[in-house]
A = this chain, B = another copy of it.
Amino acid sequence: MSERVDVEQHRADVAELLAAFVERPVEEVPLDGDVLGRVLARDVVAHEPLPRFRNSQMDGFAVRAADVAAAAPGAPVTLPVVGDVAAAPGDPAPLAPGTAVRIMTGAPVPAGADAVVPVEDTDHGTFNRVAAPADTATTAAPADRVTVARGRAVGEFVREPGSDVAAGTVVLPTGTVLAPHHVAAAAACGVARLALVAPVSVAVVSTGSELVGPDDEPGPGQIFDANGPALAAAVRAAGGRVGLRLSLPDDPEAVRAGLERAAALCDLVLTTGGVSQGAYEVVKDALPEVTFRSVAMQPGGPQGLGRVGRTPLLAFPGNPVSAQVSFVVFLREILRAAAGLPPVNRVRAVLDDPLVSPAGRRQLLRGRWVRTAGPGASAGSTPHVAVVGGPGSHLVASMAAADVLIDVPAAATTLEPGAEVAVWPL
């Protein structure tokens, strides 16, 4: 008979087995790649100031502030417009005293100019539209004059280099979970690649001669493999990467060979099936060096943990609901932490249904959020949950309809409606 442990003991042992995952390697990913929701392993630093150069905040006229200082409504100042500066490559020609250039938002402010008068404060009102200069920031003068109705102080509407970000500033700190506005900041700083936390590579291995793939037609005694696709999805959703997918028959030699291959390729091997008390338990038979035990929980009691070579391995039971519950209870938090993602915390909830639970086993029942309505519904902030389906570990349908796992303590044998319970969000 295998050893019996409680859920917290097995959680602790799994955490110890996988302790090395807290130190993840770094991988460089192009900014245009699959970065959303992933986590920065290093600070993103601005190597140049932002803006890179002195530029105009407005469409208007770049001037020396001193030349228009006297301008006021009723006493305007008129200057010759000696050129045109667009947001385009190149350095504009310096501005001579007593002159102005038309300047566009974002265009470099010429040397000698120290303020921008917005076009609205001039007799131009708006600009006439012309074809943009192809390859230089300054074009020939449009043979024009501008009358300025209001003076501007030195620096007005001029963005100084580094006024947004000084060179050397940390724009995005290590640990940032990347969203589009973070991508914008990195792109503005010219960062081509991001240093991200490398995901844990997981081999997802289903065992069982009765399993067939989704494109097969099952015959007598055969069933579709739910665990391969489901645990692969769970690994990805927790920030991991599926390094290998295998489905192996109940042949200890084939399983041993497959698991050794998986261990050589991946950071973690995750098996389903072959760990119970039956006569044919292929994962047990293939891995004499792994610890198999009975965890006092339902579903998901039979569990294994150990190493194949130096690679850690977790063995989950083969029933699809048991396998998913095992993932949520034992592995999800560790993979999320390894990826730098925040935990999915257990939350307190009020039970709306009575339930019966076996003594001595922690039970993880499928539940769903109840949107309470009517008087008093919003007064308490504790959410309500209802039980979905029964405790039978084969009830894939009720798992599909569930939002949470209701965590019934091992000591509880009955719970009444209104009892407070912990729930694991799915």
A residues bordering B, Cβ < 8 Å?
A: 1, 31-32, 35-36, 50-53, 57, 59, 84, 86-92, 102, 104-108, 119, 126-135, 137, 159, 164-165, 169, 171-172, 179-192, 208-210, 214-215, 218-234, 236-237, 245, 249-252, 276-282, 284-285, 318-321, 324, 327, 381, 392, 394-397, 399-400, 402, 426
Contact = CB atoms under 8 A, between A and B. Distances in A.
B181 A221 contact: no
A228 B30 CA distance: 13
For the complex of A and B, the 6 pairs showing the least CB-CB separation, nearest first, are A184-B230, A185-B400, A132-B280, A192-B214, A132-B250, A188-B226
Given A137-B221, A171-B400, A281-B129, A89 B210 contact: yes
Given A52-B218, A192-B214, A278-B104, A426 B181 contact: yes
Nearest to A426: B181
A128 B330 CA distance: 29
Contact of A180 (B31, B89, B222, B324): B324
Most chain B CB within 10 A, of A87, A102, A137, A214, is at A87
15 contacts: A36-B233, A84-B279, A86-B280, A88-B210, A105-B278, A107-B210, A131-B285, A132-B279, A134-B209, A165-B397, A179-B233, A184-B399, A185-B396, A186-B229, A188-B224
Contacts of A32: 229, 232, 245
B396 A250 contact: no
A71 B285 CA distance: 34
Contacts of A228: 187
Nearest to A279: B127
- The complex is assembled from copies of this chain, and their number is 2
Nearest to A193: B214
A181 B50 contact: no
A333 B297 CA distance: 43
Contacts of A224: 187-190
Contacts of A276: 59, 105
Most buried by B among A53, A183, A184, A209: A184
A91 B31 contact: no
A301 to B, nearest CB: 12
Given A104-B278, A396-B185, A180 B126 contact: no
A222 to B, nearest CB: 5
Contacts of A394: 51, 57, 159, 164
Contacts of A236: 36
Contacts of A87: 208-210, 221, 250, 280
Nearest to A213: B192
A36 B400 CA distance: 14
Contact of A220 (B108, B225, B279, B402): B108
Given A86-B250, A187-B230, A189-B224, 20 more contacts: A32-B232, A50-B397, A90-B221, A92-B221, A102-B279, A104-B278, A105-B278, A127-B279, A129-B281, A131-B280, A134-B249, A137-B220, A164-B392, A171-B397, A180-B234, A184-B230, A185-B226, A185-B399, A188-B226, A192-B214
A400 B250 contact: no
Nearest to A176: B400
A88 B280 CA distance: 10
Contacts of A137: 220-221
